[in-house]
Amino acid sequence: MTQNTHLNKRGNWQDLSGIRIVVAAFGLLCGLTGIIAGWFEIQQGNITPDGLVISTIGSNYTIADDLTYFAITIIPNMMIPGILAI
């Protein structure tokens, strides 16, 4: 009877594959981006957007006019999706 040796090697940095590192980094990046987008949506307040595509970073918070982050929402509010994103 053989044991699964993969379960016995937890915490060993030499067993990490490249795919696992890339997936973990991508997940971390997506999570942080969602938190940042949610924070800026909350900063815009309790307003109704014009359509399904919203600018998560409002014009009051951008450095330049063309630097923004767009998202699609089905909730007709800016504050509620921001809270849900965080």
- pLDDT (0 to 100) of residue 53: 85
For each successive 10 residues of the chain (86 residues), what is the average pLDDT? 54 73 93 89 86 78 70 86 88
- pLDDT (0 to 100) of residue 28: 96
Q: What is the count of structural domains for the chain?
A: 1
Within 1-86, residue ranges assigned H as helices are 18-44, 79-85
- Closest listed residue to residue 81, CA positions, set 19, 72, 29: 72
Residue 63 lies in a domain: yes
Residue at token pair 């998560």: 56
Residue 25 lies in a domain: yes
Angle at 56 between CA 74 and CA 61, to 5 degrees: 155
Q: What is the pTM of this model?
A: 0.66
Residue 9 lies in a domain: no
Residue 10 lies in a domain: no
Residue 61 lies in a domain: yes
Q: Which domain holds residue 23?
A: 17-85
